[in-house]
Amino acid sequence: MFKPLLILLLAISINDSVLAATKTYSRFLISTVNPCTYCSNHIACRSTWRFSEQCLPNVEFVEMTPELRNYLLDLHNERRNIIAGGMEKGFDPAVRMATMSWNYEFEYLSKLNLLQCVTKHDKCRRTPDYPYVGQNLASVRWTNYNFTLDYVLEMLVDYWYRENQYITKYDVKYMKKRTDLPHKIGHFTLMAQERANEVGCAISRQSTANVSEVFLACDYSFTSFYNVSVYREGSPASQCQSGQNPKYPNLCSVQEVYNIKDIEYENNLFNFIF
């Protein structure tokens, strides 16, 4: 059973020792690729790596350990396995849903987003390998409780996942523009996106004497598009060319290759309903 929600907002964080280690993961810093050539408002273009004045003085990044990365991967893949297996009420199973693996470039770019200390999606975050990078953001604030980080992260990922109550299997199949939606749905469509086989996240926290905040940003290797199905329905994992994932049998193996550069996507960019 997934954890209950608390008060959900959004914001950010960082510390110099983690920053120095993380920078080396970015292809933008170890190759000739300049992110400004992709778009002038790319999140990595001319970034100062400084927090906004809106941040609290004690804001800091949470160190992304191997255990923490694996935990976030499991939070995503467990829910994808549920959807792909047809175990979520109202949704058909998926024939070729990817298993998500960790992407360090996305982890780096997610940290840059958190420097804003506001809940605001990047205008551009494409990378040399991924032209259509998706993004989920969330945060939680609480008082007088001593929550573990694992508990808080599961709560935030569940916040994204529970948007499934506002979307139908028709939306999943056709992804048409709708003006009658009672709630945002873009976080869930990213979590259920068939082609999104890589994710990288960053976490930050800050506090006052009585209030604690944790912020989570995740970037994905593929985003949502109008007129492009979130996933294709049918027998679970029946069209996986590389076989099933032994841990998540409704997902394809981590070796599955997805075409994410089809020309059809160019004119159907999803105006995120976040």
| Domain annotation for the chain: domains and CATH numbers | 7-265 (3.40.33.10)
At residue 175, the pLDDT reads 85
Q: Is the pLDDT score of 4 beyond 80?
A: no
At residue 227, the pLDDT reads 86
Asked whether the beta carbons of 35 and 29 are under 8 A apart, the reply is: no
The pTM for the full model equals 0.86
pLDDT above 70: percentage of residues in the chain: 85
Residue count of the chain: 274
Q: What is the DSSP string of 41-78?
A: TBTTTT------TTS-TT-EEPP--HHHHHHHHHHHHH
- Give the residue among 203, 270, 198, 202 at the shortest CA–CA distance from 230: 270
In three-state secondary structure terms, 215 is strand
* φ, ψ (nearest 5 deg) of residue 142: -150, 165
Look up residue 251 and give its amino acid: L
**pLDDT confidence bin for 272, thresholds 50/70/90:** very low
Q: Is 123 exposed, middle or buried (0-12, 13-18, 19+ CB in 10 A)?
A: exposed
The pLDDT of 191-217, averaged and rounded, is 93
Look up residue 43 and give its amino acid: I
pLDDT in tens, 58-88: 999 999 999 999 999 999 999 999 999 999 9
Higher-pLDDT residue of 86 and 123 is 86
Give the mean pLDDT of the chain: 85
Q: How far is CA 122 from the centre of its chain?
A: 12
pLDDT in tens, 43-55: 888 888 888 888 8
The pLDDT of 133-159, averaged and rounded, is 92
Q: Is the pLDDT score of 29 beyond 80?
A: no
